Amino acid sequence: MVGVAAFLLYLPALGGAYVLDDGRAILGHPAVNGAAPWWEVFTREFWGADLSSIDWSSSYRPLTSLTFALEHRLTPEPWLHHLSNALFYGILCAQVTWLARRCARPAVALAVGLVFAVLPIHVENVASIVGRADVLASIAGLAAFAVAVRADGAPAGVARAALAAVLYAAALLCKETVALLPAVVGWFALLSLRRDGRWSHLVPALTLAAVGALYLALRHQVLSVALPPDFVPADNQLVERDGFLRLWGDLAVLGHYAELTLVPIRLCADHTYGDVFAPTSLAGAGALWAWIGLPLLVAMVVDGARALRGRSGGLWFAALIAYLLVGHWVIPLSVIVAERLAVWPGVWLALALAACCEGWTDRLRGRRAVLLVGLLVGVSAARSVHRSLDWSDALSLERSSAESCPAALHGRVLLAAEESRAGWHEEALWDYAVALAGRAAYPAPFESLLLDAEQDTPLAERLRTLPELMGARDRGRGWAALRGALLRLGARDEAALAEKLASGPP
């Protein structure tokens, strides 16, 4: 039932086009678009380059690319990719519901499964075609966990450990966000070991750890992992920080993910500098999110301590383990907050929530519980449908992202480029100016008159006063600097418009 509901929820996304990274991973990938044999998905990185021609890549996801290739040979139209995304997401939601029944009664598992299915933070995983990678990895990862950790608490045995290892390897070949699965399995093995003293509980965890270590060694040997050559530090300020500031910034990231999950108003393709600011002090800009993240971290660690004493199932602590890679605690990622990465730790949060709600069912009975769940599911589903429609084309996506996260510089540049391609050069000039002002302010918090003017001033009036809004003391030099910056970005039409405006009346 939950899987079908999740599938139906995303049927409106079938009309979506190829947007953002879809072009590189599908249309530009020779083994996917048919220019090369399909089996070359295993000899090429996710964006299509031959492994022998490059020294590194941020992404190697051959099984995900294989699904794209098989679908693309049936039709080059994007609707089939979107249909498959909805189907895969439905499977994942059904898995979550099924696993929730291990720790909660069927009604609770059903409610938690529905809530997970409609969470708006997961829209990018379905409405964006390449977002499938996280879903496929989660499906295989959850299957590996279900095989490795038995519902009855008995040791899994060698045969089940071997099957779990195969599923884990498949998950890694979809996307490496599930890399810490051996630690999750090891955590539950440790709890079982403390309960009955049987060391055989550790067999699946050690087997998965061996597979993970072997995969990472081969991956590094064949294709090293590094940040992209065009990486902009503003997209992830944590890269430039260490010590306490790095830890404090990690807590702020946790706070932002909590916000996007619980209050999904500010949804955009990527959350970068301007929209998310890694705090540099205990009370300065961005510190609020770290203070939100701190009690969340403490609560999950406390859950782990309680689980070791037999007072908890340890699911909240398992969610923390699954989150560590996504939250920059292990390695820095190219973007500080990305909604598509939340689906894997979200699985464990859903299971932990099911365990918690099992203890509340005696207090919330009958109509009150049904109304509460119905209200939550209804509101979240409406937001998810609305957000999925934003992904119908690149311009709609970037416009909605700018409305939700007006200060996010990465999104502004993408929006301006799309507006320029559509011939809307005045709008593009404005959005390029916002992005350039933000880049000039980095690494300080981005606060500008541009953002205030955008709320209540007509576009034509804003454009005439661009130099003043950008903080230029001399109007002529301000226009000249803006034109030069636009030319460096390749925005020639917007540079010509800026020159025209500069020669007009102030």
pLDDT digits (tens, 9 = 90+) for 78-129: 999 999 999 999 999 999 999 999 888 888 889 899 999 999 999 999 999 9
DSSP H helical ranges for 309-408 = 315-323, 343-358, 366-390, 394-404
Listed residues 361, 390, 417: the one ending a domain: 361
246 with 355, same domain: the answer is yes
Q: Residue 449 above 80 pLDDT?
A: yes
Question: Over 173-205, what HEC string results?
Answer: HHCHHHCCHHHHHHHHHHHHHHHHCCHHHHHHH
412 with 304, same domain: the answer is no
Model pTM above 0.85: yes
Averaged pLDDT for residues 312-332: 91
Q: How confident is the model at residue 67 (pLDDT cuts 50, 70, 90)?
A: very high
- Residue 195's Cβ-count burial label (10 Å; 0-12, 13-18, 19+) is exposed
Neighbours of 216 (CB within 10 A): 14
Listed residues 191, 222, 253: the one ending a domain: 222
Q: Mean pLDDT score of the chain, rounded to an integer?
A: 88
- The first and second tokens of residue 396, run together, are 């709609």
Residue 178 lies in a domain: yes
Residue 387 lies in a domain: no
Q: What domain count does the chain have?
A: 3
Residue 391 lies in a domain: no
Averaged pLDDT for residues 412-431: 90
Residue 227: its pLDDT value, please?
67
44 with 99, same domain: the answer is yes
Supply the range of the domain harboring residue 194. 2-222
Residue 385 lies in a domain: no
105 with 182, same domain: the answer is yes
CA angle 471, 475, 477 (to 5 degrees): 90
Q: Residue 321 above 70 pLDDT?
A: yes
Averaged pLDDT for residues 217-228: 76
What type of residue is 175? K
For residues 45 and 57, the answer to whether their CB atoms sit within 8 Å is yes
Residue 309 lies in a domain: yes
Closest CA to 130 of 265, 294, 209, 16: 16
Residue 268: its pLDDT value, please?
87
Residue 471 CB-half CA count within 13 A = 13
Q: How confident is the model at residue 459 (pLDDT cuts 50, 70, 90)?
A: confident
For residues 179 and 136, the answer to whether their CB atoms sit within 8 Å is no
- Residue 396's Cβ-count burial label (10 Å; 0-12, 13-18, 19+) is middle
Q: Which of 61-70, 194-203, 296-305, 321-330 has the lowest mean pLDDT?
A: 194-203
48 with 141, same domain: the answer is yes
Residue 37 lies in a domain: yes
Closest CA to 265 of 352, 386, 160: 386
Question: Cβ neighbours of residue 386 under 8 Å, at least 6 residues apart?
Answer: none
pLDDT in tens, 269-318: 888 888 888 898 898 888 999 999 999 999 999 999 999 998 888 999 99
User: What are the beta bridge partners of residue 44?
Assistant: 50
Alpha carbon distance 16, 396 (integer Å) = 10
Q: What is the dihedral of CA 267, 270, 272, 274, to 10 degrees?
A: -40
Residue 361: its pLDDT value, please?
57
- The first and second tokens of residue 372, run together, are 């509460």
422 with 448, same domain: the answer is yes
Q: How confident is the model at residue 364 (pLDDT cuts 50, 70, 90)?
A: low
Residue 437: its pLDDT value, please?
86
Averaged pLDDT for residues 447-474: 84
410 with 264, same domain: the answer is no
- Residue 88's Cβ-count burial label (10 Å; 0-12, 13-18, 19+) is buried
Averaged pLDDT for residues 65-76: 93
pLDDT in tens, 463-484: 888 888 888 788 888 888 888 8
Closest CA to 20 of 130, 118, 119: 130
Residue 376 lies in a domain: no
98 with 188, same domain: the answer is yes
Closest CA to 41 of 23, 60, 62, 20: 62
Residue 186: its pLDDT value, please?
94
Listed residues 361, 392, 415: the one ending a domain: 361
Q: Is the previous residue joined to 443 through a cis bond, with omega within 30 degrees of 0?
A: yes
Alpha carbon distance 167, 144 (integer Å) = 5
Residue 291 lies in a domain: yes
Neighbours of 304 (CB within 10 A): 17
118 with 240, same domain: the answer is no
283 with 196, same domain: the answer is no
Residue identified by tokens 């498949």 is: 170
213 with 319, same domain: the answer is no
Alpha carbon distance 385, 402 (integer Å) = 18
122 with 172, same domain: the answer is yes
